[in-house]
Chain A
Amino acid sequence: MSLEVEIAFTLNGRAVSAAVPATASALTVLRERFDLAGAKLVCGEGECGACTIIVDGLSRNSCLMPAVDLAGRTVRTVEGLWGERGLDPVQQAFVDTGAVQCGYCTAGMVMQIRHALDRNPAAGEAELRRAIEGNVCRCTGYAKVIEAALAAGQRMRGGGAP
């Protein structure tokens, strides 16, 4: 049986609320109730990172996060990175570097890199490689992804395009 729980939270800067099944994942609710299809269901087991979102400043696998835990939190999905000034530096760096191939991992990868750079804008290659240990990409071999992450860090630190 599906019990519904009323939750209210901040989603990409907007106050939202919804009645959600008590056993639903945050991913399902974001995709199906809020039409935010950026975060993807791939493995459903926390191994691949394609469902990464940022909750109260911390990256989470939304596939394993109970939707009821969104209540009261500040949630950011890849859709919320796009701002008044256009693409987020991480998104822009992915475009410039060609770090996107099939695109399935991209939203999660961008969110995880944004999380790492929010915590340390000066993160170097070794730190960024560790930061994406939980994000699987089967196309790029990670080289362009790391290149993009380093470029984004530089841009966020005000260093302009590399």
Chain B
Amino acid sequence: MPLAQELKPLEIDAYVDAVSLDAAVRALADGAGTPVAGGTDLWIQKDLGKRAYGRRLVNIRRVAALGGIAEEGGRIRIGALATMTEILESPLLLRAAPVLPATADRFASVQIRNAATVGGNIANASPAADMVLPLLCLDAEVELARWHENRIDRRRLPLAAFFAGPGKTRALPGELITAVSFDRPAAGSFGAFQKSGPRPALEIARVALCIAGRREGRRLTSVRIAAGAVAPTPIRCPRTEAEIEGVALDDAAIARALESLGREIAPIDDVRGSAWYRRHLAAAFLEEELGRVARS
């Protein structure tokens, strides 16, 4: 007997517990399957009717090849099944790309972090997907695999080119995210993540902003800025990056950067906040981070 308030169950015709990547992509090959990882988005959205799903549920949680966080030949690779908790506690990331653990620390709650995967965060393609922002700043690529002509067909896409709109990606039917990867940031790189919501972490961001680069006195080089919940997808802000690149930061330079950011973002009014407030927050985050550099 279902409980009164229980969410409406997924309506499926088949369930596959995939134990290998091979089994997973084969089960998804016809495009009529839905992968489930942590379930923290899927279990809610199917009930809200927010997401169309295939009627074959494919559990990828036990596919070992989709897990792990490792470095090889100067490239860091985070398996799609890595959870926010694993990112938060990864000794490699804490050393080499601390902006990722810093973002995980502002992601949901402990319980959700223990379940939520990076692959799910990317595939879900929310404009407010937090972990996407530092990955965009790291110029990450998303690694994809599908079953095609009787073999596993793999490809890589820049993460920045992966999103097509709210909840929409450029993944092909039946394609699985296997990992994200990026070059190990040069020594001396820095990164910061800021997010606004009424509670410290357990919140879909009203606005989130990530900035990364290298600090040379009052200048930033290799500047990367990404913003969430200010456009239909998470975005990079290349014109604002160019405005800041290599410039000695003072009040005038910061004002120019904020003006540029205002032109690059296109937030909307919704239940979490007005467009005006979102603009204000995004500018405040950038001003704070640039101000820190200017005053150093």
Interface residues of chain A, those whose CB is within 8 Å of chain B, are 1-3, 5, 21-25, 28, 31-32, 41, 44-47, 49, 52, 58-61, 63-66, 68-69, 71, 112, 115-116, 130-131, 133-135
Contact = CB atoms under 8 A, between A and B. Distances in A.
Given A46-B40, A134-B111, 16 more contacts: A2-B9, A3-B15, A22-B57, A32-B3, A46-B44, A46-B108, A58-B85, A65-B39, A71-B17, A112-B110, A130-B201, A131-B110, A133-B110, A133-B201, A133-B202, A135-B109
B112 A46 contact: yes
A2 to B, nearest CB: 7
Interface in B180-207: 199-202
A49 B113 CA distance: 13
Chain B residues touching A, range? 35 or more
Q: Is the interface of B mostly helix, strand, loop or mixed?
A: loop
B1 to A, nearest CB: 7
B250 interface: no
Contacts of A71: 17
Nearest to A57: B114
B36 A66 contact: yes
B149 interface: no
B128 to A, nearest CB: 15
A31 B114 CA distance: 22
Interface string B1-16: 1110111011111110
B221 to A, nearest CB: 34
Contacts of B44: 45-46, 64
B109 to A, nearest CB: 2
Contacts of B240: none
B3 A64 contact: no
B57 to A, nearest CB: 6
Nearest to A64: B43
